Every structure is written in structure tokens, then in C-alpha cells.
Amino acid sequence: MTARRRNYVDGAWTAAENGETFDVLNPANTDKIVATYQRSSREDAEAAVAAAAAAADDWAATPASDRGAILRDAAAHLKARKDELIEQITREEGKTPDEAAPEVQRAIDIFYYYAEKAFDYGGDVKDAGGENRFITTWKEPMGVAGLVTPWNYPIAIPAWKMAPALATGNTVVIKPASLAPGSVHAIVEALDEAGLPDGVVNMVTGPGSEVGDVFTTHDEVDAVSFTGSSDTGHFVYDAATDDGKRIQTEMGGKNPTVVLDSADVEEAAEVVAAGAFGVTGQACTATSRAIVHESLYDEFVDAVVERAESMSIGPGLDGVDIGPQASQSELESTLEYINIADSEGATLETGGGQPDIDAGGYFVEPTVFSDVDPEMTIAQEEAFGPVLAVLSVSDYEEAIDVANDVEYGLSASIVTDDYAEARQFADDVEAGVVKINEKSTGLELHVPFGGVKNSSSNTYREQGEAGMDFFTTTKTIYENY
């Protein structure tokens, strides 16, 4: 029997006012409905904001230790359901269990982390410029946080937005992506079971044009955090800032891995293949460009093609290496980028098509293009699928020029045995995240995450204490005793 899941508003599970619903299909087998959700309207979203605003003062006044205890209890509830949540992500979003498992664990760890950080995140005592005086700073919550989250990391990204918002005393309204809302539903269930007061978290599913618009423009929403495509992110940024809200957007990437002449080719191919084809290339930090020294170029292309061709494709629950893309539109977009690359003169080394899989679904082969010019579309625009462009360069300086010659700046990596070169790369590359001898994907939860250029609003970082900074404002108090 298909699960029918409701919104969560003011502590109650509710149906959409209009009575409408939508089905989420399994991207590996589109004949299978995973669950049915509420196709909510502006009225539902406005009710959620009203509930969050009404609960804001009491939640802000709740001791940090009590807020942390609720987050810790919610983490325990998620941990108890870990296997179920892994399978849910595989069925809704398409990741393999091996890819979904660390994401679920990340969400659990995030809630445990911010449960403890709630205790020691407050303010400072500062020396004053006179006798019998001192100065303190206090951190206070922004108020109501409007969160809009993507489908590609359906539990980790909502967790790293919700947990710091709640830890610092904000109430939350959240719209999960319609392709994979189940993970946010599970987080909200865990918070409800942990005893979160009514109205502190409110979840509404439905179209971004209605629900998302309310959550990013409503007068009673004080801060907006968005992760998604660049086009939508710029729209959200403009809409939120027009009303003077605090805004944080994390968007696309065109992430390079630079392979220089000191690198081990086999190691480099392993690093690049993992970054390019893992999670079916559906990560904002995925490696989409390999920028390779000309002396290693042919050998590298052969090695990365060998890895691409060795990967099995199919439904995640079948024990494969690569699952499907998340939707028909995502698949069509990837195939269109492959066609453009071919028409512009890049050489298709492997992949480029759809495998014949009995289950149906949105499958595409891991794809490698060589002879890619830096100005080609495949070297400039984000395909968001398992597609790798391999470019040749003559030296380090050219590698940096090519790496930086895009509108994005999220993640970048280098494979090299030259330490000085690695350190220079960290200085020179235009990216918010730099990896040395590692794939461009993968993050630690306790350090800041974000990009530059068109990858981010360049306002506040996410994760770690930086994630708490976004949801708070600082008050300075002067005392004369």
C-alpha cells in the first residue's frame, strides 16, 4: 500500500487545504509509486509561517540545553530508523544504498553535533576602554527561518539547515524538493517524537511557485536559506533581499580536478572517476572537468574510460555502482548536454547513451569526452549527470587559467606529488572548497561549506559554527559598574 504523507503545521499532521496530492515515483522503476504527498497551496504555506511566528518567542527563550536535548533525541530516533531511511532515499531519489548510507549517517551526526554546539554558542566578553566597565556580546536568533532544500541530498542538506536554525533558537518553515520529500518528513517525525513544541518546525510540500514563494517572501520570515539551481537561486535571492531578509544561497558548480605531470595516473583516474560518476554525477560538488597535463593526457583518458566502463548500472537495490537520474527532466538535460558536446566537436570516448535495463527508469551511462576545448558548452555549463570533460593543458599556469575560466566556484581539487604546487593551487583556484589528492565531492560537517562567483550568494557559509552564524544576530551590551 502506498504511503500517504501529510504536511506538518503547528504540531499537527494536516492535509492540504485544496485536497490535492502528488505521487513520487521510483526513478529506477517509474511504474512504482513510492509515496503520495500533499500538493499544497499558498494558504497552507501561510498557515505554516503563522505557526512559526507564533512559536518564535517561546522557542527563543527556551534554554539552549533544552533545545540541544531535543536535537539529541531526534538524532537517536533517526539512528533507530537508519536502515529504513537508506532504503527510502534509494527508492525516492535513486542513490545506491552505499551512497545513501553515509548521507543518512551524516544527518544523524549533524543533529548530534548541533545538539552539543547549542550549549557553547552564545557570546563573548570584551575588554572595555575605561575603568569599571565591561562589554559583552550576545547571539540572538533571527526569528523565523524559511528553508528550501533540494532533492539530490534529501536528508543531509535539510539536516544541516534545520539543526543549526533550531539550535540557535529559530523556528522553521521548510519546503522539501518534490522529487524526494520523504527524508524531510522523517526528520520532522523524529523532532515530533523528541517533543519539539508545536509550531517550532513546520513542513509543507508542494510547488516552489506557491509554497517556496511564501517561505522566501512572507513578511514574518526573517532569514532564507536555499540550495538548488543557479537560476532559481538568483530568483530567490532577489525576492528575499527586496524585502530586506537575510539570505543564503548555495547553487551550482563546474568543478575541476587538475592532474599535473607529477601525479600518479592511476590514482588520478580513481579520484576523478569517484568525483564524476558517484551519486550519478548529481552533486553540486561533482567533478565535471578533468584538466590534465599534456604529458599524461592519453594515459589518463584511457584509465578514466576503463573505470567508467567497469561500473555497473541499474536500480540501487540491485547492488550496482550507479543508480538512475532522479527524474525524466534530469535525464533529458544530461542527454542534451551529451548531444551538444558531440555537435561541438568533443570526442565521445565512452558512454553517452541509455543502457537497456529491464526495470526501465532514468538511466544514463557514465560518459567521458576528450578533446574538449575550454569554450565548449560541456566545459562551461553544469550538466548535473555522470558526464566528464577532459581538457589538455601544457603547464600549471594554463591549468589554473582553465580551472578559473567558468562562472562557478564551488569545489576544486588537484592530484599532485608536488607539495609546493598543491599549496599554490589552494591559493590560486577560485573555489570555496579546495581538495588536495581527493575527489571534489565529500564534506566534513564541522567546517564551513560554500562557494564563490555564481555558486553562492557569497553571504554566509553553511555547516559548523558558520552555519549557526547565519541564523543569529549579535547584540553588544556595555555595562558600567
Domains recognised in the chain with CATH numbers: 3-251+456-480 (3.40.605.10), 255-436 (3.40.309.10)
Cell of 360: 526501465
pLDDT at 481: 84
Q: Amino acid letter at 148?
A: V
**64-80 helix and 97-120 helix, angle to the nearest 10 degrees:** 160
Report the pLDDT value the prediction gives residue 1, as an integer from 0 to 100.
66
CA distances from residue 175 to 148, 212, 449 in whole angstroms, order as listed: 5, 6, 21
- Determine whether 435 is exposed, middle or buried from the number of CB atoms within 10 Å of its CB (0-12, 13-18, 19+): buried
C-alpha cell at 22: 502528488
Look at residue 131 in the predicted model and tell me its pLDDT.
86
In which region does residue 196 sit, left (phi positive, over 0), alpha (psi from -120 to 50) or beta (all else)?
beta
Structure-block grid coordinates of residue 139: 547571539
**470: helix, coil or strand?**
helix
CB atoms within 10 A of CB 351: 23
Decide if 315 contacts 281 (C-beta within 8 A).
Answer: no
User: For residue 192, is it left (φ>0), alpha (ψ between -120 and 50) or beta?
Assistant: alpha
Task: Look at residue 327 in the predicted model and tell me its pLDDT.
Answer: 97
**Average pLDDT of adjacent 10-residue blocks, the chain of 481 residues:** 91 98 96 97 98 98 97 98 98 98 98 96 86 91 98 98 98 98 98 98 96 96 96 92 93 97 97 98 98 98 98 96 97 98 98 89 97 98 97 98 98 96 97 97 96 93 96 94 84
Q: DSSP assignment, residue 462?
A: B
The DSSP result for 317-386, as a single string, is GGT-SB---SSHHHHHHHHHHHHHHHHTT-EEEE--S----TT--S----EEEES--TTSHHHHS---SS
Catalytic residues: 284
